[in-house]
Chain A
C-alpha cells in the first residue's frame, strides 16, 4: 500500500483528492487529506458579502462532504514536514508517512506583518474581505457608512485573486450610487504596482474604468504602517493617505509549517517547477493551488487547471513513466464591475489578458476585457459550478490549456 498525503482540503486539495481517488486503485493507494477544520468556503463569495449579493450561508459548507469515499480526512494543525524521512508531523503528535506529498495549504492574509494594522479598529475602520469574518464585519461597516474617504489598499503582491480589490471598488462605487452616497464619498485605490493591474493591456483597460468612475488611483505605494488614531496609512517613502474607512488586503503568506520545514521562499511559498508543480528540491513533493510559487495569479481557476495537469502527470509518475503534461499558467478571472456587469480575463504565462470573445471566436457568449451582462451571469453561476462540478472533480467543458480562439492580439 502506498500513501498520498494532501495537506489542505481547500479548492486544490479537494479537487486533487477526488480526481486521484477515481484514478488510483483503492487497494494500492491510500489518500489522506489533512486540514485544520471541517470548514470549506467558496472564497470568491467573500467579495459579495459586504454588498449583500451573497449571504454567509451561501458560501460555507463542510469539507468532508465533498471528499469521496475512500479518502481519509484528518482534522489537525500541521507542525512540520520532514522531506528526507517523508513524514508529516501533526500538532497532536501523530506522524504521517507518505510516498508522495501534495502541499495545498494556500495563502493567508497576515495583518500582523504590517505595524498598526491589527488593533482596536481591526475589522472596523480597518476592514478586509479575504476572510469569512472580515467580509461579514465589513458589511456592518458599510451599512453604517455615511460618506467620506473610502480607501481600498493592497499591501504587497502577490495576493490571492489579484482582481478582487478592483472588483471591490467597482461594486462599492455602484453600491454608493444606489444609496445616494456617491457624491459624499471619495473613492481611492492604492496599489504597490505602477498601474491598475499587473499586465499591460488589462492595466490600461482597468485604469480607464477607474478613471471613468472617478476613482483616484495611487500607485507605487509600499505601506510601512497604519495609524489607526490618525486614520492614515503611511508608505516607506513617507506619503500619507487619509481614510474614513480603510479596506486593506494584508500581506499574503503561505503556511508557517512550510517555512519551519525549510520548504518555503521568503513568503513561505514552495518553489516548484512552473509546468509540473513539482518541488524544485524534492521530487516526492508537489505544491498545488496558492501554496506554490507559480508565476501566475493565485486564483481558483489556476488551481483548477493546474490540478488537472498534475493528476494526469501523477498517474504516469507512479506508474514509472515520464510526466509529459505541462501546465501553461492558464488563469480565467471574472471581474465584477457593478450594475450587474462583469468583464473576463483569460491569460497564461506567455499571453497577457487580451480583448475578444470567449470561449468561441465572435460568438462568445462572453466578452474578454469588456463589460457585459453575460459575464456577470457567468460569475454568479460559478458558485453552483464550484460546489457541484469542480470540487467533486467532475469534468468541466473547458480545456485546461489556454486557447487563442477569439482573442485579439495587440500591435
Chain B
C-alpha cells in the first residue's frame, strides 16, 4: 500500500489511487484530488461530496449513485453532469473513500 504526499500531507492510497484511510481526508485535500482528475469543485460539487462523507460516518461504506440520488436527493443526471463519465468512481475518489461496493 503506497504512502504518498498530497497537498503537503502523507496519505495511504490503494493501487488505483483511492485513499484507504478516510480519516486522512479533509476538504483542502479534496480540492487537490479533484484537480488530479480535472475537476474544479463548485458549490454544486460539494453537495454530493459532503453527502458521501456524512453517509459514510453512519453506513461505514461508500454510497452508490442510487443511494446518493434517493437518500441524498441529487438526481443521477446531475451527478453525471458534475462528474462526467464515471461519477461514482470520481466522487468517491474526491471524497477520500473507497469505490462503492454495490457491484458484486
User: Residues on A close to B: CB < 8 A?
Assistant: 156-158, 162, 193-194, 198, 220, 222, 224, 236-237, 265-267, 295-297
Q: Which of B79, B89, B103 has the most CB of A within 10 A?
A: B103
Are A198 and B103 in touch, CB under 8 angstroms? yes
Among residues of A, the one whose C-beta sits closest to the C-beta of B78 is A236
Those of B63-88 within 8 Å (CB) of chain A: 64-67, 70-71, 76-77, 79-80, 84-86
Known: A237-B84, A237-B85. A198 touches B104 (CB 8 A): yes
Contacts of B89 in A (CB 8 A): 194
In the complex the two chains form, what is the Cα distance from A220 to B65 in whole Å?
12
List chain B residues, Cβ under 8 A from A224.
Answer: 76-77
Q: Beyond A158-B104, A194-B86: 8 further Cβ-contacts under 8 Å?
A: A156-B102, A158-B103, A162-B104, A198-B104, A220-B85, A236-B77, A266-B67, A297-B104
The residues of B that contact A158 with a CB separation of less than 8 Å are 102-104
State the CA gap A296–B103 with chains docked (Å). Answer: 9
Chain B interface residues toward A at CB < 8 A = 64-67, 70-71, 76-77, 79-80, 84-86, 89, 101-104
Which of chain B's residues has its CB closest to A265's CB?
B67
Chain A min CB distance to B100 (Å) = 10
Question: Complex: how many Å from CA A267 to CA B63?
Answer: 12
Chain B residues closer than 8 Å to A266, beta-carbon distance: 64, 66-67, 70-71
Distance in Å: Cβ of A82 to nearest Cβ of chain B: 23
Q: Smallest distance from the beta carbon of A165 to chain B beta carbons, Å?
A: 13
Q: Of all chain B residues, which has the CB nearest A197?
A: B103
Chain A's nearest CB lies how many Å from the CB of B26? 27
Report the Cα distance A162→B102, complex, angstroms. Answer: 12
**Cα–Cα distance between A332 and B52 once the two chains are bound (Å):** 33
Complex contact A295–B85 (CB within 8 A): no
